[in-house]
Amino acid sequence: MITVDNVTVGYGTAGFIKAVDQVSLTINDNEILGIAGESGSGKSTLMRAVYGDFSTGLRILSGTVTGRFVDATSGQVIEAQSKNFAPLWWDQLSYIPQGSMSVLNPLMKIEQQVVDGLPARERKGGSHALRQRIAGFFSGFGLEETVLDAYPHQLSGGMRQRVLVAIAAFVNPRLILADEPTTALDVVVQKKILLMMVEIQRRQRNSLVLVSHDLGVHYQITDRLVIMYRGQIVEQGPTAEIFANPQHDYTKNLIASLPRLHGKRAVESMGVLA
Ligand SMILES: Nc1ncnc2c1ncn2[C@@H]1O[C@H](COP(=O)(O)OP(=O)(O)OP(=O)(O)O)[C@@H](O)[C@H]1O
Ligand SMILES: [Mg+2]
């Protein structure tokens, strides 16, 4: 679906920090791809380059990000570079940015925020019918219809994050990019939201890219895993293989540093998303 070919990304006009350095990966149909790595390793930068969000001054210095999507109505294949992805946002790919609590407009009720984000064709059918559809979809996230009439500050942090995930999934995009979607939340809420995201991915058979510094999360839900270190990908492959047989020193250390419970690694004993 997306091919990242030897991409180097920098910020600013002169000199450039190479935030992502010669990275290649593919995002396949119907998979959960995890991205892990320490703070500053380039995970969010890579997400922005894949989504085609250049608003932060990000520049692709070399290499290409190519998307291949199928138009839902015409069945036509759309091939484009990420600098031209903007018209495909929502329909084909959606993005939950890191620290996205602040993405919700504090002055606008939730219903309006959902509607404003929708492509025009989704708004057809009258506002009552649309509200019913949104309410129905939100209920799958444990969000009651009254949430639609609330302002963001009236919701808990966990609810706001569920709202963001629901908005990102509502129009059934083929790819959802989620950058640390649960990091600020407590473990119980985190678990619920991750379960929801997995369920949506299975139901909609789309692709999910999940950025998390939490290896336990990757162990439990991702199909493949990419490990970044200082802007580069040092390792990628099926998640189970990486855990069973890490190749790179950085990955070995990461896995070795996971807490142990009763002699087993915590991730193996938690069974959180079993
Ligand atoms: N908007 C920006 N302008 C300039 N430099 C930036 C910007 N965003 C990130 N960088 C730099 O790019 C590098 C990679 O940052 P990035 O945010 O992609 O890392 P990350 O892996 O997402 O980290 P974290 O786990 O803390 O979210 C860092 O050196 C960072 O300082
Ligand atoms: Mg980040």
18, 21, 45: residue to mutate for ligand 1 pocket, most atoms within 8 A of CB: 45
What pLDDT is stored for residue 99 in this prediction?
A: 76
Residue 99 lies in a domain: yes
What pLDDT is stored for residue 274 in this prediction?
A: 43
Q: Ligand 1 — pocket residues by CB below 6 A?
A: 11, 17, 19, 37, 39-45, 56-57, 98, 213
Residue nearest to atom 24 of ligand 1 (CA): 39
Hey, which residues does 265 pair with through a beta bridge? 260
What pLDDT is stored for residue 49 in this prediction?
A: 97
What pLDDT is stored for residue 182 in this prediction?
A: 85
7, 13, 16, 43: residue to mutate for ligand 1 pocket, most atoms within 8 A of CB: 43
The three-state DSSP-derived secondary structure of 101-146 is HHHCCCCCCHHHHHHHHCCHHHHCCCHHHHHHHHHHHHHCCCCCHH
**239-249 as b/e: b if 16+ CB within 10 A:** beebbeebeee
Residue 120 lies in a domain: no
**Overall number of domains in the chain:** 1
Residue 232 lies in a domain: yes
pTM of the model: 0.90
Range of the domain at 43: 2-103+174-270
Spacing, Cα 133 to ligand 2 middle (Å): 33
What pLDDT is stored for residue 102 in this prediction?
A: 64
Residue nearest to atom 25 of ligand 1 (CA): 39
Cα dihedral 180, 183, 185, 188 sign: positive
Long-range contacts of 237-240 (CB under 8 A, 24+ apart): 239/34
What pLDDT is stored for residue 134 in this prediction?
A: 93
Whats the size of the chain, residue-wise? 274
Instruction: Report d(CA 8, CA 62) in Å as an integer.
Output: 5
Any idea which ligand is nearest the CA of 56?
A: 1
Residue 182 lies in a domain: yes
Residue 110 lies in a domain: no
Residue 228 CA: nearest ligand 1 atom is 21
CATH number at residue 18: 3.40.50.300
What pLDDT is stored for residue 2 in this prediction?
A: 97
Instruction: Report d(CA 235, CA 243) in Å as an integer.
Output: 11
Spacing, Cα 21 to ligand 1 middle (Å): 13
What pLDDT is stored for residue 256 in this prediction?
A: 85
pLDDT tens for the chain, 274 residues: list them: 999 999 999 998 665 678 999 999 999 999 999 999 999 999 999 999 999 999 888 999 999 999 999 987 889 999 999 999 999 998 899 998 887 666 788 899 999 988 887 777 777 767 888 999 999 999 988 899 999 999 999 998 888 888 988 888 888 899 999 999 887 778 888 888 888 899 889 999 999 999 998 888 899 999 999 999 999 999 999 999 999 999 999 999 988 887 765 566 666 555 545 4
Residue 148 lies in a domain: no
What pLDDT is stored for residue 258 in this prediction?
A: 79
